[in-house]
Amino acid sequence: MNKKLVVLVTRKLPQAVEDRLRRDYEPRFNQDDRLYTTDELIALAQGADILLTCHTEKLSADVIARLPASVKAIVCFSVGVDYVDLAAAKARNIIVTNTPDVLTDATAEIAMLLMLGAARRASEGERLIRAGKWKSWSPTFMIGKQVTGKRLGIVGMGRVGQATAQRARGFDMTILYSNRSRLKPELEKGATYFDSVEAMLPHCDYLALHCPATPETRHLLNAERIALLPDGAIVVNTARGSVIDDDALVSALLSGKLAAAGLDVFNGEPDHIHPGYRELENTFLLPHIGSATVETRDAMGFRALDNLDAIAAGYEPHDRVA
């Protein structure tokens, strides 16, 4: 009988996913669901064949260099792999996989929630109710912005961007997009393509960021690009915090250049989020829950395990990124 592979699971996973791991492998679970220090991670990885990780781990080149020789693969429970130094993994012949396709709908739902929540001052209104400060109604009370019929600019028209566009069409929004390449007409579905973000921004009442986190997209939304947006525009981000220059966005929200922002991801999350976001009334903030549905988290786990099964069987995993 072949010996079961030892899998270090760095965070607590959905029960159905852990049950399958327990059936087919020798897992080392993190039942307390706490964030391991680097030293703890290295110690726990001793003798492990596979790491099953989340974006909360920071697998830099230094960390990967310290991994024991037994580690043959890093199976990511995420689409984004910006937390893994892929070049360092390749240099050590460590396979890296991710979980694309399965969180598209859930993340697009959150993009729409952010858009509506920011536009209609949902956080501010809920705080009034909870604090018992709602005393009356008037024609000028809690005036927000309408979403229906407005222009939505999307940066990054991949799976999630396209799914967000489809939902926005239900609000009769006009879809604009900037992408590394133009989509085929059947995928565009009437959306207007711009060959640069700068060319698109002046036409956006709403801006949704769905691009991957790369060195090229770091601080993509900076002061210069914010200045190109129409006054009173609204920004939403479900991508990664690094695509926004926090100081520039906070300044634009304070000045009134932007009406509001809806954010599900942040630089320095969760402990070192820019304090300006918490202090502003015109922010709608969520704790990185874009994929947080039962259906999606199970699907992410099963997709990760499909990749793990392929690696264990000696096949090329479907979602290999390094």
**Would you please indicate which residues are annotated as catalytic (active-site) residues?**
240, 269, 288
- Give which of 216, 271, 282, 272 is closest to 249, Cα–Cα: 282
Please tell me the distance from the alpha carbon of residue 27 to that of residue 2, in angstroms, as a whole number. 16
Strand pairing of 95-97 and 283-285?
unpaired
CA distance 263 to 140: 26
DSSP notation for 146-180? --TT-EEEEE--SHHHHHHHHHHHTTTPEEEEE-S
| Collapsed DSSP state (helix, strand, coil) of residue 239 | coil
* Count helices and strands in the chain by DSSP H and E runs: 13, 12
Q: Peptide bond preceding 270: is omega within 30 degrees of 0, i.e. cis?
A: yes
Q: Which of 210, 207, 184, 299 is nearest to 258 (CA)?
A: 207
Task: Give every CB contact of residue 189 below 8 A, 6+ residues apart in sequence.
Answer: 165, 166, 169, 175
- The helix/strand/coil state of 103 is coil
User: Residue 165 and residue 173: Cα distance in Å, rounded?
Assistant: 8
CB atoms within 10 A of CB 52: 29
Helices marked H in the chain — which ranges? 15-24, 38-44, 61-66, 86-91, 104-119, 122-130, 159-169, 185-188, 197-200, 223-226, 246-255, 275-279, 294-313
Closest CA to 197 of 161, 173, 149, 164: 161
